[in-house]
Amino acid sequence: MDFTYKNGCALALTMFFLLSCTNSDIYSKNEMWKIAVAQEPNIVLLLPKDLNSGVKCRDYGAGCIGGVRVRLRKVDLTLVEFETKEHAKNVAARINQYYVRNWVFDNAMKEPVLEHFIKKTYNAQRGLPLKKRGN
């Protein structure tokens, strides 16, 4: 009986770690919001004015699931969710913006408040490396 108990615990622990590691490249909408609010309690979710406004996946391409807009210290930021980290990374590179896991932060470049927030809060990365000056 002790042997079965140990095997059961080992199996349960293995399944837990496999499942928890499987989605390490994905943030849910809920996780993104919780992280944002923990860092910046005054962040505001901006609702679309009507069904035809808001974030449109056709503007971002393959793998886009949807997006939201938020306001942070009077500056708007668009967060776009993708199916995979690779989709997000490719789109971030194409539009020269930041990404973290399966999300792209649009309209953040050259907005110091937004760049500081997404780097500090999410450890967001640039889609394109900085161009070297000189030669």
pTM for the full model?
0.78
Question: For residue 119, how many other CB atoms are within 10 A of its CB?
Answer: 16
pLDDT band at 132 (very low <50, low <70, confident <90, very high): low
Contacts 24+ apart (CB under 8 A), 78-83: 78/105, 78/106, 78/107, 79/32, 79/103, 79/104, 79/105, 79/106, 80/55, 80/104, 80/106, 81/29, 81/32
Q: How confident is the model at residue 129 (pLDDT cuts 50, 70, 90)?
A: low
132 by DSSP, 3-state: which? coil
Q: Which residues pair with 99 in a beta bridge?
A: 104, 125
- What pLDDT digit, counting tens, does each position of 39-50 carry? 999 999 999 999
CA–CA separation, 45 and 24 (whole Å): 25
What is the C-alpha to C-alpha distance for residues 27 and 31, in angstroms, rounded to an integer?
6
Phi, psi (degrees; rounded to nearest 5) at 103: -125, 145
